[in-house]
Chains A and B, each alone.
Chain A
Amino acid sequence: MSHGHAEVITTHEVHHDEHGAHHHHQSFITKYIFSQDHKIIAKQFLITGMIWAIIGGLMSVLFRLQLGYPDQTFPWLEDILGNWARGGKITPENYYALVTMHGTILVFFVLTGGLSGTFANFLIPLQCGARDMASPMMNMLSYWFFFGGSIVMLSSLFIQTGPFSGGWTAYPPLSALGDASPGSKTGMDLWITAMAMFVVSSLLGGLNYVSTVLNLRTKGMSMTRLPLTIWALFFTAVLGILSFPVLLSGFILLLFDRHAGTSFYLSDIYIAATNQALPNEGGSAILYQHLFWFLGHPEVYIILLPAMGMASEILSVNSRKPIFGYMAMVGSLFAITILAFLVWAHHMFVTGLNPFLGSVFVLLTLLIAVPSAIKVFNWLTTIWKANIKFTPGMLFALGFVSLFISGGLTGIFLGNSTLDIHLHDTYFVIAHFHIVMGVSAFFGMFAGIYHWFPKMYGRFMNNTMAYIHFWGTLIGAYLIFWPMHYEGLAGMPRRYLDYSNWSSFNQFADLNRFISTVAMIVFALQLLFVFNFFYSIWKGRKVTTLNPWDATTLEWTTPIHPGHGNWEGEIPEVHRWAYDYSKDGRDFIPQTEPIGPNESKH
């Protein structure tokens, strides 16, 4: 630990320009690999998350190829994938492996690890006014557990029996019985191991985020002066800390059922493949679903809240207007956090759940729409009578609001148990959650990356590529997911690789091909973003002013290339909230400026 402090002092004194980094006495390993600087750790999370996103996205391209062209063979697929695509066709077990890995990777490794890991790490110390996280050491461990989990998960792709293939929710008995599905053999052990490491990473990170926000705010930074990003990241961390352990306990029981002969989830099972009745009796497969969704639903908000926070901040900065209803925004984040724990069984309306219990969950679930509605109307009022600068970050923040509305409203269908009977596990669900927590969370993430890239690397990303990326992705996302609602209204089930034998669902062959084509184009556009990102790290236009967006928050008071410790000399003191834009005839008033004698109150 003492080493960490020494580092703090030396780094911020030496670093003034980016060339300094290369001649620094700190070794490459301690500076860039086992770094305890929250900014480096944030970048590590971001880049690992991006690599995962490319892998997970590529998987969706592959299985969309199967869905769009179920009767065609692609010999080049066999060249690339070998056994996964024998004869140029993705085999069912590998289709399911791809679908499962796509879900696991995107939900956990990209939109939880990549999103929270990046922005909580990067923004909490910078916007609270702290030199680093409460425990830089734990923070470093958080990344390396994430990295370790990533390696284990990745390795499961290369084993003989294939990676886990029973869906990202990993419901037993399918996930417990290797004889029921080859993916549930070694692949599932690796999956559980990787997820356990992920949970540890998430807890180490989350505890750090919470203690930093509560304890390390600079002088004058009361909780109600925090930017909404920090509030959102704070609640995200609380959600994770309280729900991930429950998931882990569920996984441990699953591990026992798999290897220790227990019957937590197993009962009355006969396996046709081996012509054997299993010894287990008295377990409940539904118990796992309760444990899983006790995390699984908060997880949705773990993914979404950071995006909400960043969108709020970016909308306000680029509207040159304060966020409308700051306290209502904090209150609705709080309400969402509380309600997130009370709605999990809405994923289980058709499992045989007691209908009365179901009705309680309907009420609580639809209640979540109230804070969500408050947020939407507050965002709309924020841009009303604004003076909007369409920076790439702002575009993605606006896109986020549009997608959040579209996907949120379909949640009102699915949260209502009556409609869920019909729509459960159909493409309506796919459309709903991809829009509301997939694409919209990605939009929040993109908004954050474009907005804070200058702070991360001291350079701008290329605007033209950003505009193409934004418009292409927004249009593409709607083209992909909007028509899927109609497939859902036809009752078309998810997780099928071929619908041609079903007279009820085979009318959508053309649509499936169309969706697959758009999905591939949108994937290519994301590669454009990745290219822009890496190109701009080294070749982007240089940032020449401390505060390129004219924002009020503390991170823009640090040097263009802040060293470990963030501020040279004293950490600035805060005198006001983060949203004094266009007040008293001034474009913006930084948080560090004392309240003037004649200043109007907000």
Chain B
Amino acid sequence: MTTTGLFLLAILALGFLITFQIAKASEYVSVLKGEKKSFEQNNKINGFLMVVFLVLGLIGVYWCNKALYHKTLMPYPSASEHGENIDTMLKITLLITGIVFFITQILLFWFAYKYQYSDKRRAFYYPHNNKLEVLWTTVPAIALCTLVGFGLYYWFKITGEAPANAMQVEITGRQFGWIYRYPGKDNVFGKKYFRMIDEADGNILGMLWKDSTMETPNGVQNLKADPTGYDDIIQTSAMYLIKDQPVKLIINSRDVIHDVGLPHFRMKMDAVPGTPTTMWFTPKYTTEEMKKITNNPNFEYEIACDQMCGNGHYSMKGLIKVVTRDEFVLWRAKQQPGYKAPTKAGDPAITEPGAQPAPAAQPADTAAAGAGAVVPKGNLVAAHK
């Protein structure tokens, strides 16, 4: 490999040398020919290359599209309803910008070719024309207003409140993976606090599974166990979602900023430590159906971290399995609550979880509010907006 490197270097040096010699020689030639003549020749060549570049460029655009279009997500339907809106918006934008692109590029290179220097002509003294300038202020303004209008219509649809029947799943980023949490049978997320995180003990989210007292920079804190968290399902292998059932993701991060990127659903939202975010969408196709649609037997809905999060960023992959409702019920029945699995902390006295005194109403101790505590379903919209 070292020899190959040297070889490449030698070729490069030789290439430079040859180019340099040609460049120097052409300078001498132009002196011999006379500056005017060599200028005219060079000008003709460059003018001609302008139109060559235009033609080859347009062919290249076509060819590139042909070679790469099928590798993008565009040939397949989006896997969420929001994604369909985004695809429509993409097409509208592509159409408008595409027209402008072709007109302006063709004019640019065509003018450059057509109006190249000639001894016989003089340039047209044309310093301004108010009508023209007003025209190309207002036309782009109108076109852009159209795009803003469509864009915001879809934007508010997508970022609007999740439907009341939306399933809720919490997703937490950490260096370098994802943790998924379901509220369990009581449909209420138990409270958590980041100082309770204990990897060795299996409490990877810092669930308030036991009473504890700790010294913090804000003084001594008495944390009470939250029984609503005893049945929460905590998973790291995959997030299961139900086809045609809206889902609202509550997004957290344990350390640095991550991002839940879902290319097939066309969704994306940052995971910010200390500031929970949300996004909702409705999956349209199960993973199995997508395998057929994309003609790819290995298809998976991958969660890609889209925010630089450290040296393992490129490997921070999550998985979503979209299944039918029946399959989901089956999967969920098999899940063990996170509380039981690692327990060393005395007996999990699961007193009836239904007796929840509205955990959101009782303000979580000091600064843990909002950040650590995840409130139950009914209050989610208010709490996370």
Residues of A within 8 A of B (CB): 73-76, 79, 88, 92-93, 96, 165-167, 171-174, 177, 180-182, 266-273, 275, 277, 279, 281-286, 319-328, 350-352, 355, 358-359, 362-363, 366-367, 369-370, 373-374, 376-381, 383-390, 395, 398, 401-402, 405-406, 409-410, 412-413, 416-419, 421-422, 424-426, 462-465, 467-468, 471, 474-475, 478, 482-483, 486, 489-491, 493, 495-499, 501-505, 507-508, 511, 524, 527-528, 531-532, 535, 541, 579, 581-585, 587, 602
Q: Which of A88, A327, A383, A406 contacts B115 (CB 8 A)?
A: A383
Identity of the chain A residue whose Cβ is nearest the Cβ of B270 in the assembled complex? A351
Contact A401 B108 (CB under 8 A): yes
Closest B residue to A261 by beta carbon equals B217
Residues 238-259 of B contacting A (Cβ, < 8 Å): 251, 254-257, 259
Assess the B200–A275 pair: CB atoms within 8 A: yes
12 more contacts with CB within 8 A, not counting A269-B274, A363-B152, A532-B23, are A269-B255, A282-B274, A370-B137, A370-B144, A381-B126, A388-B43, A388-B117, A416-B148, A490-B72, A504-B263, A511-B71, A602-B128
Residues of chain B in range 343-374 having any CB-CB distance to chain A below 8 Å: 367, 371-372
Q: Is the CB of B23 within 8 A of A385?
A: no
Report yes or no: A277 in contact with B144, Cβ–Cβ below 8 A.
no
Task: Tell me the bound Cα distance from A302 to B121 in angstroms.
Answer: 38
Residues of A within 8 A of B73 (CB): 489-491
Residue of A nearest to B151 (CB): A416
- Residues on the B chain within 8 Å of A491, using CB: 73, 261, 263-264, 304
A413 touches B255 (CB 8 A): no
Contact between chains at A502 and B255 (CB < 8 Å): no
CB distance from A371 to the nearest CB of B (A): 9
Indicate if the CB atoms of B266 and A422 lie closer than 8 Å.
Answer: yes
Q: Is the CB of A282 within 8 A of B148?
A: no
Q: Are B112 and A503 in contact (CB under 8 A)?
A: no
0 or 1 for each of B71-98: is its CB under 8 Å from A? (1 = yes): 1111000000001011001100100110
Most chain A CB within 10 A, of B22, B53, B136, B308, is at: B308
Q: Are A389 and B197 in contact (CB-based, < 8 A)?
A: no
Query: Is B49's CB within 8 Å of the partner chain A?
Result: yes
Could you say which of B121, B125, B136 contacts A373, with CB atoms under 8 Å apart? Answer: B136
Contact residue among B124, B275, B298 (Cβ-Cβ distance under 8 Å from A286): B275
Residues of B within 8 A of A88 (CB): 1
Chain B residues with CB under 8 A of A531: 16, 20
Say whether A384 contacts B108, CB under 8 Å: no
| B68 shortest CB reach to chain A, Å | 4
> A395: which B residues are within 8 A, CB to CB?
46
Residue count of chain B within 8 Å CB distance of chain A: 134
**Cα distance, A504 to B302, chains bound together (Å):** 7
* Set of chain A residues within 8 Å of B328, measured between Cβ atoms: none
Known: A418-B151, A478-B60, A493-B261. A384 touches B111 (CB 8 A): yes
Residues of B within 8 Å of A497, CB to CB, are: 314
CB–CB B123/A281 < 8 A:
no
**Which of B2, B22, B85, B263 lies at the interface centre, i.e. has the most chain A CB atoms within 10 A of its CB?**
B263
Please determine whether A351 and B90 come into contact, CB atoms closer than 8 angstroms: no
Q: Is B293 an interface residue (CB 8 A)?
A: no
Point out the residues of chain B lying under 8 angstroms from A483, CB to CB: 64, 68
Given A351-B272, A489-B74, A504-B302, does the pair A75, B128 have CB atoms closer than 8 Å?
no
- Are B273 and A173 neighbours in the complex by a CB distance under 8 Å? yes
In the bound assembly, the distance between CA atoms of A586 and B47 in angstroms comes to 24
- Contact between chains at A272 and B140 (CB < 8 Å): no
A-B contact count (CB 8 A): 403
Q: Are A369 and B140 in contact (CB under 8 A)?
A: yes
Give residues of chain B (186-219) contacting chain A, Cβ–Cβ below 8 Å: 194-195, 197, 199-200, 206, 216-218
Q: Which chain B residue has the least Cβ–Cβ distance from A70?
A: B314
The residue that A583 contacts in the complex, of B125, B206, B251, B372, with Cβ under 8 A, is B125
Contact with A along B298-311 (1 / 0, CB 8 A): 11101011111111
CB distance from A480 to the nearest CB of B (A): 12
Looking at B155-163, B228-236, B329-337, the stretch in contact with chain A turns out to be B155-163
Assembled-state Cα–Cα distance A412/B101 (Å): 12
Q: Are A76 and B1 in contact (CB under 8 A)?
A: yes
Is B292 part of the binding interface, using a Cβ–Cβ cutoff of 8 Å? no
The answer to whether A380 touches B111 (Cβ under 8 A) is yes
Residue of A385, A463, A471 touching B49 (CB-CB under 8 A) = A471
For the complex, what is the distance from the CA of A504 to the CA of B46, rounded to whole Å? Answer: 43
Complex contact A270–B254 (CB within 8 A): yes
| Smallest Cβ-Cβ distance to A271: which chain B residue | B255
Could you tell me the distance between the alpha carbons of A587 and B20 in the complex, rounded to whole angstroms? 35
Q: Verify A582–B115 contact, CB threshold 8 A.
A: no
* Among A182, A366, A419, residue most surrounded by chain B Cβ atoms (within 10 Å): A419
**Chain B hits for A421, CB < 8 A:** 86, 158, 266-268
| A369 touching B144, Cβ below 8 Å | yes
Pair B116/A388 contact, Cβ less than 8 Å: yes
Contact A180 B304 (CB under 8 A): no
Decide if B89 touches A268 in the complex (CB within 8 Å).
Answer: no
User: Closest B-chain residue to A352, C-beta based?
Assistant: B277
Shortest beta-carbon distance, B114 to chain A, in Å?
Answer: 9
Are A325 and B133 interface neighbours, CB within 8 A? yes
Which residues of the other chain, A, contact B19 by a CB distance below 8 angstroms?
A: 465, 468, 528
Beyond A390-B43, A482-B61, whether A504 also contacts B264 by CB under 8 A is yes
Name the CB-closest residue of A to B73. A490
A-facing residues in B282-333 (Cβ within 8 Å):
296, 298-300, 302, 304-315, 317
Cα separation A602 to B127 with both chains bound (whole Å): 7
Q: How far is the CB of B262 from chain A (nearest CB, A)?
A: 8
Residues of A contacting B310 with CB < 8 Å?
Answer: 96, 166, 174, 180-181
User: What residues of A have a CB within 8 angstroms of the CB of B174 in the complex?
Assistant: 270, 272
Q: Can you give 26 contacting A-B residue pairs, CB < 8 Å?
A: A79-B2, A171-B256, A267-B274, A269-B256, A272-B255, A284-B274, A285-B257, A355-B155, A355-B156, A383-B111, A390-B112, A395-B46, A406-B101, A409-B97, A416-B89, A418-B154, A418-B155, A426-B306, A464-B26, A471-B49, A471-B53, A474-B53, A483-B68, A493-B261, A541-B27, A582-B124
Q: Are the C-beta atoms of A463 and B27 separated by less than 8 Å?
A: yes
CA distance A384 to B109 in the complex (A): 11
Q: A355-B156, A425-B259 are in contact. Are A272 and B175 (CB under 8 A)?
A: yes
Please state if B147 and A328 are interface contacts (CB–CB under 8 Å): no
Query: In the complex the two chains form, is A386's CB within 8 Å of B115's CB?
Result: yes
State A584–B68 Cα separation when bound (angstroms). Answer: 53
Contact, CB under 8 Å: B42 / A463: yes
Q: Residue B381 at the A interface, CB < 8 A?
A: no
Q: Is B378 in the interface zone, CB < 8 Å from A?
A: no
The answer to the question of B380 belonging to the interface, with a C-beta cut-off of 8 Å to chain A, is no
- Checking B46, B116, B197, B268 against A424 with a beta-carbon cut-off of 8 angstroms, the contacting residue is B268
Whether A381 lies near B132 (C-beta < 8 A) is yes
B383 contacts chain A at the CB level, 8 A cutoff: no
Select one of A413, A504, A507 contacting B93, CB under 8 A.
A413
The verdict on B10 contacting chain A, using a C-beta distance below 8 Å, is: no
Q: Which residues of B contact A579 (CB under 8 A)?
A: 127
How many Å from the CB of B43 to the closest CB on chain A? Answer: 5
Known contacts A321-B124, A370-B140, A496-B313; is A380 also within 8 Å of B194 by CB?
no
Partner pick for B155 among A173, A323, A417, A508, CB 8 A cutoff: A417
Q: Are A412 and B97 in contact (CB under 8 A)?
A: yes
The closest CB in chain A to the CB of B1 belongs to A75
Determine the chain A residues whose CB is within 8 A of the CB of B101 once the complex forms: 405-406, 409
Contacts of A499 in B (CB 8 A): 314
Closest to A320 in B: B123
The distance from the CB of A120 to the nearest CB of chain B, in whole angstroms, is 26
* Cβ-defined contact, B158 with A402, below 8 A: no
B72 to chain A, nearest CB (A): 4
Contacts A174-B257, A426-B306 given; indicate if A321 touches B274 (C-beta within 8 A): no
Residues of A within 8 A of B148 (CB): 362-363, 366, 416
Give A209 Cβ to nearest chain B Cβ, in Å: 27
- How long is the Cα–Cα vector from A373 to B312 in the complex, in angstroms? 41
Q: Which of A93, A478, A541 contacts B311 (CB 8 A)?
A: A93
A374–B86 contact, CB under 8 A? no
